[in-house]
Amino acid sequence: MKISERTTTSTKRPSPRSISNIAVVSLTIAVLLLSFLTVVPAVRASGQSAEWHVSFSFTCNGACVTALGVQGGQRGSMALNSDGTGNAEVAAGPGAAGHDSVQILGWTIGPNGDFVLLGEIDTITSHGTTTVLTFSPEYADLGIPAAAGHYNAMNLCIYPVFLCGLGVSIPGLELQIQVSGPF
């Protein structure tokens, strides 16, 4: 995976704590939503119009903070186009207040039926600083089914494996995902 970084700075400098908070929240989301990385060939969608829409909301408060080490959440939406490209917008807060604009360079549906990102450019803005990260090539299974419906932390089983299927949840953890499409 090639990762390149470009940073531009306004006159207002973020504190090391705010940068650390963004990194922790982003890493937590990545761990939860990108639960497994696998290299398996897959076929891309073709065409040019929006094919799928995904909206999500993630919050972590109370006992969740103790379990995962973060507080706050992220909300966002993603459009996956039939030509294999897409975009996403994500807002984070409270401690890691910021915005991530994602240009999806490629996506597919993996053999397990989940959405998989094949490359992306993330433009992250927080407290007056903008950082651009490129992940290409990548094979990131988002853990989100490519099937229209409403999903949450329990039915996606993002909890530790030993809790899956037991009806046990982490208090304060809330994840809601809405998938619409194909169109």
Domain count, the chain: 1
How buried is 33 (Cβ within 10 angstroms: 0-12 exposed, 13-18 middle, 19+ buried)? buried
Judge if pTM exceeds 0.75.
no
Query: Has residue 74 got a pLDDT over 70?
Result: yes
Confidence of residue 168 (pLDDT cuts 50, 70, 90): low
Q: Which residues of 87-108 are buried (b: 16+ CB within 10 A; e: fewer)?
A: bbebebbeebebebbbebbbbb
Task: Give 59 or 121, the one with higher predicted confidence.
Answer: 121
Q: Does residue 120 have a pLDDT over 60?
A: yes
* pLDDT number for residue 2: 54
Q: What is the pLDDT of residue 34?
A: 38
**Which tens digits make up the pLDDT trace of 38-57?**
332 233 343 446 799 999 99
Residue 91's domain comprises: 2-180
Euclidean distance between CA atoms 88 and 104, whole angstroms: 8
What pLDDT score does 78 carry?
Answer: 95
